[in-house]
Amino acid sequence: MGIAKTYKEADHLYNKSINISKNWISKYYPDRNYSFFGVPLERVQSFSQHYFFSCLLEELPIEQVWCQYPITTQNIAKNVPLKNIKSLFTNVKKVVLSVLSSRARLPDLNFSRDIIFVTSGRHLSDQLFLLSYLNKKFKILIIGKIPLRLQEKLKLKKIHFIDIPSGMKLISRIERFKNLFQFNFSKWNKKGSNVLLNSKSWQSRLLYLRLIQFPEIKALLSVSHTLLDNIKPSIVLTTSSNDTFGASFSLIAKKMGICVLELDHGYSAWSQDNAFTNSDFKLFWGDVFAFIDPSIKNKMVKVGCPYLKKPTVSSYDHLINLNNKAFIGVLVLWSPPYGSVSAFKSKPNSETLLDLVTGLSKLPQNYSVTLRSHPSYDINDDLVGIQLQKRFKVANKKGIESVLKDHDIVITQPTTASLYAMLHKKPMIYFDNSWFTEHLGHPFVKSKSALGVPIVELANINNFVLKLINNHSLLKSQMVAQKKFIGRYIECFGEDSCHKIERFIKGII
């Protein structure tokens, strides 16, 4: 256990985590193997459990167990036990409030819809253009945890929506008490033996599941069944069929014979999470160049990306004399292996960041560096103990397109933001502390869309930056390769993509 030393070992850890996350209730707690409306509780919560079991298998210090996706840390601080106690009281308070708070009411459901779109937050924001388009062609309803700013936008666009911040709030107090009673007033006696289920972390995790997540999932399944049974849509469209919210609606829909379509919501070189997919079809942007799970090939439909814009930069003039600029901005897109693919990291993320900063610190003084992390990854923990020069900054607030305009070269890991960099014809360097990359290679490097830096050379990445910037021929050939890559990976953009999605939906309806 711990960090895998080979791809084979990483793949073994990953599959071991998948197996226990999908079967831990039925195998070790068979007396508590609940199903609701024909949907197994075990299936709905398996993806978030995969995060937890991955942490245990990697022997990562877990700072916070009492949340859907456990928070890990590089260094367990002395105050972590105190933090956990505070977290326990906070969550117990949350349980009490969720049971005693007044009931929120669903709107009148005596109407029909062709499509129910299930999504939340950033995914919903990305898909507003598609939703506006589909709203003119079909009767649609948006369901999700919808921030107020997005609710206002949906109202302006006259798109119907139902905000569901919590399933428990939409059922009666009596039902809430019954949910808590079902999961907490009978013993969970473990059958058989598994070292992962003997730890204190697991005991704390199990209590969290019983008090918070399981009652919420049961409530969400009840709300999903009520909504789908009343509205009777032909299609459930989602951007995530694996998390507990999306899985609740997707699995109830499939049980009722409603077709579930899942939109590709970001860049993916490896479809490693398909063990948790709960859709009938996956609507991909275009060709996937690296590994693809054979089990989903017949479910893949190429529809392009409705929210990315077609490239408009046609010349390579911005590359001429790049090395003669007074100041050169370097943007680092930090997205290391974490979460569901954490088992595949070949080196600790914090050590990788230290090597990267060491290498970039060797660049001439007219180079400034911006570190930008993936929206769901906190870079601050990796930065502990690293001294950044004044020309370094950490910035995540601005939109990616605005940030790209302020920088001349992009250093990236596998992330959707790197596609934006290609669309803006930015010189690009790729690195990754992942066994995926070391074993399978990466499409960016294979296609020559980015200059690859071996992980063992990361502390000397300055040499690769200077090599790229000082070689106009290499820069131009990279831009040509990027154009070709985008042309294959994203079959079409904007309204053209919306047309394809519309046609596929009409073929089902």
Mean pLDDT of 261-276: 79
Q: pLDDT-based confidence at 56, cuts 50/70/90?
A: confident
Q: In terms of Cα–Cα distance, which of 402, 451, 405 is closest to 425?
A: 405
Lowest mean pLDDT: which of 13-17, 85-89, 453-457?
85-89
Question: Which range, 81-85, 185-189, 266-270, 503-507, has the best average confidence (pLDDT)?
Answer: 503-507
Lowest mean pLDDT: which of 4-13, 83-92, 214-223, 402-411?
83-92
User: Strands (DSSP E) along 93-184, which ranges?
Assistant: 115-118, 140-144, 161-163
Query: Do residues 81 and 250 lie in contact, with contact meaning Cβ atoms separated by under 8 Å?
Result: no
Task: Report the side by side order of strands in the sheet with 235-238.
Answer: 161-163, 140-144, 115-118, 235-238, 259-263, 281-284, 300-302
Q: What is the mean pLDDT of the chain?
A: 88
Beta-carbon contacts of 79 under 8 Å, excluding residues fewer than 6 positions away, are none
Q: Which two tokens stand for residue 1?
A: 């256990």
Q: Which two tokens stand for residue 506?
A: 């009409």
For residue 320, the model assigns a pLDDT of: 66
Answer left, alpha or beta for residue 447, where phi above 0 means left and psi between -120 and 50 means alpha. Answer: alpha
Overall size of the chain counted in residues: 509
Mean pLDDT of 31-60: 91
> What would you report as the CA-atom Rg of the chain, rounded to the nearest whole angstrom?
24
Whole-number Å distance between alpha carbons of 455 and 472: 25
Q: pLDDT-based confidence at 397, cuts 50/70/90?
A: confident
The residue that leads in pLDDT, 52 or 317, is: 52
**Helix/strand/coil for 64:** strand
Mean pLDDT of 406-419: 93
Question: Which range, 188-202, 217-231, 306-320, 437-451, has the best average confidence (pLDDT)?
Answer: 217-231
Domains present along the chain, CATH in parentheses: 1-101+167-207 (no CATH), 105-165+232-308+492-509 (3.40.50.2000), 317-489 (3.40.50.2000)
Whole-number Å distance between alpha carbons of 35 and 222: 12
Whole-number Å distance between alpha carbons of 501 and 137: 11
Whole-number Å distance between alpha carbons of 438 and 460: 18
